[in-house]
Structures are given as C-alpha cells and as structure tokens.
Amino acid sequence: MSRFLSVFSVLILLPAVLLVASCANQRSEEHMQSTLVFGYGDNFLTFDPARQIYAQETVIMLQVLEPLVRWNNDLVMEGVLATDWYSEDGCVTWVFELRPGVFFHDGTPFTADAVKIHFDRILDPETASTRRRLIEDIVNIEVVDDLTVVFNLEAPNCIFPERLTSAFATIPSPEAIARHYHPDPSRRLDLGRNPVGTGPFMLVDWVPDVVIQMERNPTYWNLEEIHLENLEFWPIRENTTRLILLEQGVLDMATVSFAQVNVAKNSDQVSLQTSPYLSIVYIGFNTQNGPFKDKRVRQAANYAINQEEMVEYVFFGVGEPANSVLPSVLPDYNPNVRKYDYNPEKARELLREAGYGDGIQVTLWTHELGTYRIAADAVVEQLRQVGIRVDMQIFDNAVYWSKFEEYKTRDGRQYPTKEGVYDIFIGGWVGGEAPQGYFEPLFRSGSYSNSSFYVNEEIDTLLDEAREQDDPEERRKRYWRMQEIIVEEAPWIFAFHGQVNIGVRSRVQGFQINPSGRLFFEGVTID
C-alpha cells in the first residue's frame, strides 16, 4: 500500500493531520519514497541561531547549519567545521583551525570571516540574541587567515569549546547575514525562515505547523556519508496520532512519548530506540521567600516524594529517578551524593523542626500539558500527606515561562518576594553533554534560568574555578563538590531524568540514537 493510501486511511480518524496529508498529496509518490519523514511534537519557530530557544529548533537547525565542534553519539567532542582547536596561554586565547574546501549553500566559501561575522552578530546588543550571555566573555574575534580564527577571552575559560557545540554557534552564510540587514526591504532575507548554512541538507520549503522540506546538499564536504535524497520534518503535536502515523508508514521515524513507549515496544511495524536523556525534570522552590527559605522545609519536601514510584507508575518506567542535578550517564555524575529516600515521617519531623508542625500552604505553578502537568499532579498529593498543602495554578503552555519574567530579568535582577510570586514551580532542563550546561544556567547567582533564586557563593566560586581549570580531573572535583552542595541544600525536588525514545520503521537503516536528542543522519539509508 502506498504512503498516500496510508495517509488517507487515517484521515477520518485523525483530522489533526489533514494539512500534512494534503502537503504530501501534492508531491509524487516517487518523491515520497525517496524521502525520510520524521514526526515530532515540540515547538519549532526559527532557523536563526541568534533567536534559537527550543530543543526541537536545535535538532532541525543542525541539518542545515553546522557548528565548529559537536558532541558525537558517544559524548566525545569532535570537529565539524573545525579540524583542530587549542589554547596555548591557559585558556584565555582559543585558536580554531577550520576545515578547507567547505561552501555555504549559496556558494559562498566558508572562511574565518564567516565565523567572526556570525559571533559578532550574536554579541551585538542590538541583535538582542537570546544566547549572547553564553559567550559574553569574548573580548574580540581575530581572523588570522582564511582558515584560522582566534577567540580572545576576558579571562581563562578552559571549557569554551563546549559552548560552541550549541545551536546558537552554528554558522550562517555571511552573504545571508548581509541580506538580513539590507537597507532595501525587498532584498532582505529573514534568516529565521531562510537559513543558508554548510550542512548536509538545504531548506526547500517550510510551511509552519505543516512541514519542513529539505534536500541533500550536493556540495557537502562529507557528502559520501549522506545517502538521503530528501528529508522532511512533520510537526504532529498529538502523541497518539504521531505513533499511529508511524505504524501506518506515513512517517519513517518519530519521537515517541513516554505514554506510548510500551505500545511502540510491542509494535510489529516499528522498532524503538531509546537512550538516557541528558535532561532533568524538577520541582523548584523559591529559596528566598516564604517557608522554602528554610533548607529543612526543602529537604522535607524531597523526603515526601517517592521518585521510584513516580517513574514506575506515573511515567510507565520511562526515565530514571534523579539523585543529582546531572544524569548518571554523564562522566562527571557524582554517585555519592546524599539520597532523599522516600520517608514521609522524616519529612514531618523536619517540618516540625522548622516550626511548621501544623503544615504549610503554598502556591505551585505549572503548565497545562505533558510531563510538567503530570509531574505536578503526582507530587501534590504526596506533599499534602506530610502537611505541605498546595494550591496549584495552571497556565497555558504558550505563556508559562513568560510568567516568570515578571520576577527575573536577563541582566540578573530578581524579585523573589514580589507580590504574586510562586512558592514552587515545575521545571525541566536539557543541559546537554557537559556539566556546565546544568550548573551555570540553573545555579549561578543571578542567572536568568535560575528560577529558584538560589544564591550560594561557594557554587559561584566553584563554577569560576571549573571554567579556569584545564585539568579534567580537577574540574571533576569541582563538579562533584557542586553536586554535594546543591543536593544538600535542596533548591529543588530532584524528580527524574528523561529518556529519548525514537520509533524507526524497518526501511530506515543505519540510524543511531543520541542521548542529547539530536539527530545525525550520516550513514542513514532508506530502502
């Protein structure tokens, strides 16, 4: 049965895919047979590296634009547009040797000038990039020659290359950037809608909320590893719909939600690839206001939650109970930190010690959809059983994180005692392959993403020391110490680490899952 018949066979049952099916119907079956179609359920708004926010933007953007370096499937850093990188002065100056013979999709040669133009744009305050803070320690960028670029930093930063693995560090064509700023509006190029990179695929068309179409880049520097002729991403928000379309053969690959994992495991049509996810779901406290200013109350809340039961029964065994900020798959995970085993009596005892023997009334923020709402529902009853009574305020998914901006700003100002502030909130974070991706944004004093308003001078000092330490073992000592402090001080309930789940049909061969959730299609073929 053709892919088109498969589409139409589910239209009556699945009206949510009408637009996608219509889009597929406009292309030949021959085209679709040579196209890998990936279904996803997360947000995607832009291809502009300076504007990137969502994890799904990273996944899709990296097919078109490339960074200097990346983490591979084994969590080892490797070169992409750079062939070598080093510092010879204690990590103040970083030299990157660039890959020769690389061209952007518009034919422009990839050179050190392109690197400088891109990062200068990120650093320019007028760009208002959401990622500027990640590289604001750059003093200037020096072009030595076409294939050598130097980043001069204001202070030693021995983990600087780790920052350049992120989606914001992917390099667009300088010609495209110039057109983005062209004084003639008719000649301007919206980078967010018209990306021009060096990646293995080129954007053909993007119909928001319907389809993103790509085709193989015929001049790609590593073309021998790219076998797919066409690649498409279909946004399908409803989890069950996405799995049905995968089983029907309308999709070749798709993300699978935790609720459908066991169904996908038993499917005759789909093989399920899974990996520990480099992420954490947590319940954060306002550590500067109300009862959760007291560490004992925060620890009590941790003892009140049965993490193992939450993962096993609420999330169907998909994930790993969290003992620390870092997922256990990371090399710098500290297995020796304090454990908050489920102990309601210990929780009540700590509340009594803190002067709350009669319990407390608190406000919890969550949004209405998915993992956050389910996690909120799971913890509210267990907290109530030890005397922490929760008033749950539920916000629309589209505005949830914007609600926090009234209480913190990107320049580090925070208002933890302002009227209407939350006591608890549900949060999640994809920290990536390196510890600083968790510690720096979530626990640095004044960080925009530090929604717990957590302040600890020793953590700030350890973060600085880790950044300045070029010995990996010495950095690991700081990372282990930070985990001990944070778990002891309990600015969060450490709930669980997620799992990457990708369903793959049999005609797709050679795909390997990545624990970051990123998709690499080198070596992938379709039958």
CB-CB contact of 260 with 243 (8 Å): yes
Q: What is the pLDDT of residue 21?
A: 53
DSSP 515: T
Q: Which helix (H) or strand (E) holds 496?
A: strand 492-497
Say how far apart CA 130 and CA 326 lie, in whole Å: 24
Say how far apart CA 109 and CA 88 lie, in whole Å: 28
CB-CB contact of 235 with 17 (8 Å): no
Say how far apart CA 69 and CA 161 lie, in whole Å: 7
Buried/exposed code over 454-489 (b: 16+ C-beta within 10 A; e: otherwise): bbbeebeebbeebbbbeeeeebbebbbbbbeebbeb
Q: Which residues pair with 231 in a beta bridge?
A: 36, 214
Q: Which residues pair with 395 in a beta bridge?
A: 367
- Nearby residues of 107 by Cβ (< 8 Å), 6 or more positions away: none
The alpha carbon of residue 269 and the mean position of all alpha carbons in its chain are separated, in whole angstroms, by 29
Angstrom distances, CA of residue 145 to CA of 112, 148, 227, 447: 7, 5, 33, 36
Axis crossing angle, helix 457-468 with helix 472-489, rounded to the nearest 10: 160
Using DSSP, state whether 525 is helix, strand or coil.
strand
Phi-psi region of 523 (alpha: psi -120 to 50; beta: other; left: phi over 0): left
DSSP 87: -
Using DSSP, state whether 176 is helix, strand or coil.
helix
According to the 3-state scheme, what is the secondary structure of 303-327?
A: HHCCHHHHHHHHCCCCCEECCCCCC
Written as one letter, the residue type at 371 is: T
What is the per-residue DSSP string for 329-379?
A: TSTT--TTS------HHHHHHHHHHTT-TT-EEEEEEEESSHHHHHHHHHH
- Domain architecture of the chain: domains with CATH: 3-62+184-274+500-526 (3.40.190.10), 69-174 (3.90.76.10), 279-497 (3.10.105.10)
Token code pair at residue 61: 């953007």
In 3-state terms the chain splits into helix, strand, coil percentages (rounded to 5) of 35, 25, 45
User: Where do we find the tokens 């799992």?
Assistant: 499
User: Where do we find the tokens 């980078």?
Assistant: 191
Say how far apart CA 167 and CA 165 lie, in whole Å: 7
At residue 40, φ and ψ (nearest 5 deg) are: -135, 165
Determine how many CB atoms are found less than 10 A away from the CB of residue 74.
Answer: 9
- CA dihedral in degrees (29, 260, 277, 503; nearest 10)? -30
**What's the whole-model pTM score?**
0.87
Q: Which residues pair with 142 in a beta bridge?
A: 150
- Nearby residues of 415 by Cβ (< 8 Å), 6 or more positions away: 406, 407, 408, 421
pLDDT along the chain (527 residues), means of 10: 43 48 57 89 91 89 98 93 97 98 98 98 91 91 98 96 95 95 84 96 96 98 97 95 96 95 92 94 96 98 95 90 93 94 97 97 90 90 97 90 89 92 94 91 93 97 95 96 98 94 96 93 95
Q: What is the pLDDT of residue 17?
A: 52
According to the 3-state scheme, what is the secondary structure of 252-292?
A: CEEECCHHHHHHHHCCCCEEEEEEECCEEEEEEECCCCHHH
Say how far apart CA 252 and CA 246 lie, in whole Å: 6
Pairing relation of β-strands 360-367 and 424-430?
Answer: parallel
CB-CB contact of 168 with 101 (8 Å): no
